Chain A
Amino acid sequence: MTVLNAPPRSHAAEAATEPPVPQLRKRSFRQRLKRDRVMLALVLPGFLFFVVFNYIPLLGNIVAFLDYRPYLGFIDSVWVGLENFAALLSDPAFWQAFRNTLVITLVQLVLFFPVPILLALFLNSIMSKRLRKFIQSVIYLPHFIGWVIIVVLFSEMLGAGGALTHFLESLGLPGFNAMNTPEFFPFLITLQSIWKDAGWGTIIFLAAIANIDQELYEAAAVDGAKARHRLFNITLPGIFPVILLLFILQLGSILSVGFEQILLQRDNVGPQAGEVLETYVYFNGIQGGQWGIAAAAGLIKGVVGLALVLGANKLAHKFGHEGIYTSGKQRR
């Protein structure tokens, strides 16, 4: 979706952090309405935006249960129940896309997820403030570069006539075209994600490290703890809640692997390796006009993602961590 993936603040946490303002509560509803008219007028355009472009499309998922015809519209299209889902689940291309998606996510989870943590630990170990700031600004930059540019950069570097191939050939080795090798595709995607976002991802871990009480380190050092002991007994436990939080959020997007990124490169490796759920939805729905089936695929993707976030969060609660939101019960 957006470039910004960050933990949401929940309704429950919101309620808990804001103490009630008793003296204001005395006013009647009408009085409050009158007092708030300017503020409400400011909120409404934004609210309207969320309704039109977030909630109405949510209802639009009803297409998954229709034999949707664009000229008939939502209301006059024929209701087909679960037929679209049945067609979808018996389509081998869907399962291929499903499998590709899982493979890519898994590779991303294993290879991408730890990188920002390691980078943050590394940056934290750099003593010179100036050098650290410089490296930070360098590694933040790619986050703001669009996928089209990144794919171009990668094909210049790793493509058929790219820098890597020429380098290998100059060493007398066979060239390697990373852009067109289907087996390499999940790793290519992950490499690109690392290049783009690993640096940006360090921000949150660096902040978590900075929040650790410095006296803990001092005390540990006095007790004779070596650097690696301090790392494993203070730093890592200190940032563990943040790691867990980001991991849960990552699970939520397990079925959404960078859509734009993959769409740009799918044709290089063909649908066998390059089709993921989102490109399946795009090509079948918007390109192919199979609105119902594509919407059904999108719906499955969304529901699985949401279920995973909520499930992982439940699990985190079970183990006594906060997760992405706290249930009201826990806070009180």
Chain B
Amino acid sequence: MANNVVDRPLRWRNSKRSERPTWMEKPHPVSLIFKLLAIALIIFLTLYPMLAVLGTSFSGQAEIAQNNGLVLFPLHPTFDAYQTIFSGGVVTSALLRSLLITIVGTAASLAITVAMAYGLTRRDLVGGKFFLTAALFTMLFSAGIIPNFLVVKELGLLNNYAALILPVMISAFNLIVIRSFFQNLPQELIEAARIDGVGDFGILIRIVLPLSKGVLAVIGLFYAVNYWNAFFSAMLYLDADQWPLPMILRQYALLGQPMTDGANTAEIAAPSQAIQMAVVVISLIPIVLVFPFLQRYFTKGVLTGAVKG
């Protein structure tokens, strides 16, 4: 109780949300204004392009022309662009392909990474040092475009969706993050389970994984983002009728190529600005949707792997 009396002034200060330590001087009002301006500028520069694209995708031709290309707040919002996109055809199927590649790829990546990371947590694993070093080494260099391409080709993976997944299935960095996380789990739990007769695999499934949901979600996001955004591997390894969303986006919005129907290659028209922006929006949506939920794990996840090094 006596302690409370001493604590009170401190607590009161904390409760005002101002966390300024007692020794820190108050900022000058002018510098405060500059700071707020800088904050506003940073937020504007980051969000404005995305919001403008979103607004434009909901605008009609006339409004876009009136506004010289970009509309932040459409006065007459219309879903025309999205209707065109989702009425079947190239974009719809590319979207489905991208979703499929992302889901299968992420699941495969997580499974194989978790398995390897967990296996490497045993400190005196037979050959453990060797396996770990082999994985770590790949962070320092990669072979280059030509040899990678030739290996994929020799494996007969051309025009196969597996070519987008297999060559990038594990990132050594993610492996290290997961392994460090596993190693920092309370060992008493694991020992207790072992004494109860649970095997190595059982411990992974019943104890380690349930305790690791946060880090797995973040690493899963890292993998998913890579698969979702991949266009170069698609360009290298896939036929045009197999292209995922980023390649379609590149064709329409960057190269301004006409929208063609997947089935009959009759040209429809060069995609309107609204349609181009709508494709950008649907490419962005999955990321923006997942992002807020995983945000709080980022720092922890990234730092487990990074700062320890």
CB–CB B276/A152 < 8 A: yes
CB distance from A152 to the nearest CB of B (A): 5
CB–CB A309/B140 < 8 A: yes
Contact of B25 among A14, A58, A227 (CB under 8 A): A227
* B35, CB-defined interface residue at 8 Å: yes
Interface bin, chain B: 35 or more
CB–CB A286/B145 < 8 A: yes
CB–CB B200/A141 < 8 A: no
Whether A57 contacts B151 in the complex (CB less than 8 A), given A47-B131, A286-B236, A324-B309, comes out as: yes
Of A97-105, A106-114, A181-189, A203-211, the segment with at least 4 beta carbons within 8 Å of chain B is A203-211
CB–CB B140/A252 < 8 A: yes
CB–CB A57/B138 < 8 A: no
Contacts of B145 in A (CB 8 A): 259, 278, 281-282, 285-286, 294, 298
* A49, CB-defined interface residue at 8 Å: yes
CB distance from B71 to the nearest CB of A (A): 11
Whether A203 contacts B141 in the complex (CB less than 8 A), given A43-B116, A147-B231, A163-B70, comes out as: no
Interface bin, chain A: 35 or more
* B135, CB-defined interface residue at 8 Å: yes
Contacts of B112 in A (CB 8 A): 45-46, 49
A to B CB contacts below 8 Å, 5 in the list: A6-B173, A60-B148, A144-B287, A156-B70, A245-B309
Tell me the complex Cα distance, A180–B218, Å: 37
Contacts of B53 in A (CB 8 A): 152-153, 156
Chain A interface, >50% SS class: helix
CB–CB B254/A152 < 8 A: yes
Contacts of B215 in A (CB 8 A): none
* B201, CB-defined interface residue at 8 Å: yes
Contacts of B136 in A (CB 8 A): 8-11, 14
CB–CB A9/B176 < 8 A: yes
Contacts of A122 in B (CB 8 A): 35, 38
Tell me the complex Cα distance, A181–B168, Å: 34
Contacts of A151 in B (CB 8 A): 254
* A155, CB-defined interface residue at 8 Å: yes
* B21, CB-defined interface residue at 8 Å: yes
CB–CB B305/A46 < 8 A: no
CB–CB B123/A21 < 8 A: yes
Contact of A4 among B38, B122, B141, B222 (CB under 8 A): B222
CB–CB B19/A152 < 8 A: no
* B125, CB-defined interface residue at 8 Å: yes
